[in-house]
Structure 1
């Protein structure tokens, strides 16, 4: 019988690294308090803006507050760096690759090869933040990631900036300015716009990644949409295993509380996985 506790994995877009326009870090403090309560084993944080400055001072301070070990992957755009953290001694980095796409992503995609205590085979965590502006570029990034979809023990984690097949379509487009149609909607050959563009997620799922919310039969739960008045609830943030993951998805949750809604424009996504033997 496996007596090990479930492995806790979290994905969270911090919104400008938890820093407000006045430079204050009160949101980051709230974010760290939430993460401490979750006691995660692996954390993937997006938009670590300015976290690389002064030798990674902020990234190291975040890691120290969480009692975790960090690896930073620099973004090619907007300083939206990615930070992957693990909690030793249970989880350790074997190898870390900060840009496995060699500069071909709008931000980047990293790969962490992790050793989980008591588990013989490594766990591979792909961490990314897909292009927020271009459906075509998102699909290109997703197609690059599909090469991992038939491999063992892979998790794809991050802000994918796409909704999934089966997620609700908008009843109206009043929430979306026409200037943003090209970033979010299918464009027909005649130039008109249709439904939400979900092609990137469709490519990932068709290739072999699994949407845990759909697989577990969970009710729709937003990961974004609460921040601005007039926005709509939608999913953007995911922890996607492949079909060949030798871990069972025990639970999959979005932390949607008043504190979480005030801490960032995205909500933390939490997965608990238990090793199968």
Structure 2
């Protein structure tokens, strides 16, 4: 460093120390002081937090990040929260769900047997089902899903450009094929015409399933299913623009089969993915 540059550097240091009301000797002692063990640990922990956050597509908040820390790097949730807040790391926020099915019809409806009791003691005891929609430049893409309450896996799903009874029937058949569910299972849905149709009701009866339906206009009766739709849209779809239904289908498949069922951790499962929870029970 030349004499002039050194003079300018020392002048800046002096002005900074004056502004901070510290001595120059104290400043130099500080910058020469070795980094504390706690600071080193926090820096490494922050790198891990960022890595987990990015791999979750910025979905995970502090509870899930804390549970996914490496075995040799465990930390309290409070410490994780402080590091995330200090470095602007935050989870995406799920938007409110909007119902889509048409419940104005003269078909018979079932009683609400679940009555918002979403607890289960074993797999294939209670399923929830519903339909949502995804906008594309070619029109709506409708998605029907079947959610297994014991583990929260989406065990059945189907997509089409039309919201017909066949859509929900295909989703239910896939769920049966994947799980081997037998009679006695309760299948809950909204009051949409697709679920109240004779064809769908025959499918339930043929499998020995017990039907249950939400009360009119009560979204809380199907809350876990609606929560799944919210996660799908906010975590995966809302920031994307789909030119075709094929593009939207690909994105939905990636979320359900590659991320949600196999990788996304759930607090209700002890922070393990739905499919891993199913194998553990």
Asked if TM exceeds 0.5, the reply is no
TM-score normalised according to structure 1 size: 0.29
TM-score computed with the length of structure 2 as normaliser: 0.29
Structure number with higher strand proportion = 1
Kindly name which structure, 1 or 2, has the bigger radius of gyration based on alpha carbons: 2
